[in-house]
Amino acid sequence: MHLAHWFLHFSAPQKVKKAGFKTVAMMIVFVPTLMVPAVMASEVLLRDFFRDVQSLKANFTQLVEDDNGSVLDRASGKFYLSRPGRFRWDYKNQSFDGELGQQIVADGKSLFFYDPDLEQVSKRSLDDALAQVPSLVLVQEGEGVDEHFTITEFGLTDGLSWVSLAPKDEDAAYQKLMVGFNEGVISSLMLYDGLGNSTQLQLSNVVINSELAANAFEFEIPEGADVLSEP
């Protein structure tokens, strides 16, 4: 159920073909480790991330827990980002080694969510998805962050510098996104939804501002997949 927690909030209509629609967990948090006069370091690191990072690729692991701390799901895969407006989350297939699992792709105009178990693609416009899809904050331009989020400094915890982003939209499908930095590099994300569940993403092998393949953010609809579009 990993995909739905990150895009928990990806509310395109669903055609149920198989039981057990998986969830998507995608969130990211950034935090600094030094104190800077007038502005806390975590907020500085966050703003530096939006200003200086034009592309990023990393491996990720994902852990979803309920409000009692019970593990609901584990997942892993690869993450790619290119500003503005493009990212890709490729989940490993937990049943078949070497095959891709769920995919979430933003190509600058549209957001695609593919679930191979359902043989289904959900599609929606990026313009109105930010309040429902927390991971989209990562591909925003810096000036758009203050417009959509309240930023709060959380300081140093467990060796990471943390900052919180709470959506200003009262109808947002999540409560806050925490971003954690390790020595100035984004390394952890925590997403809290309205049901008390939390999704943690740990990034590793982070590479910043490298050249990514031209077609890295193109999404081809798999043959035979149903396409559900949300206006």
Mean pLDDT, residues 101-128 taken together: 91
pLDDT in the model for residue 130: 65
Architecture of the structural domain at 2-7+24-210:
Clam (2.50)
Q: Write the DSSP string, 75-113.
A: EEEEEEEETTTEEEEEEEPSSSTTSEEEEEEEESSEEEE
pLDDT above 80: residue 13: no
Q: Where are the domains of the chain?
A: 2-7+24-210
Q: Which residues, listed in sequence order, are joined to residue 222 by a DSSP beta bridge? A: none
CA distance 192 to 200: 9
Mean pLDDT, residues 134-146 taken together: 80
Mean pLDDT, residues 102-124 taken together: 93
CA distance 145 to 169: 12
pLDDT above 70: residue 11: no
CA distance 106 to 89: 9
pLDDT in tens, 184-207: 999 999 999 888 899 999 999 999
Q: State how far Cα 87 lies from the chain centre.
A: 9
The most confident of the ranges 16-25, 135-144, 171-180 is 171-180
pLDDT in tens, 57-102: 999 999 999 999 999 999 999 999 999 899 999 999 876 666 778 9
pTM exceeds 0.95 for this model: no
Percent helix, strand and coil across the chain, each to the nearest 5: 15, 45, 40
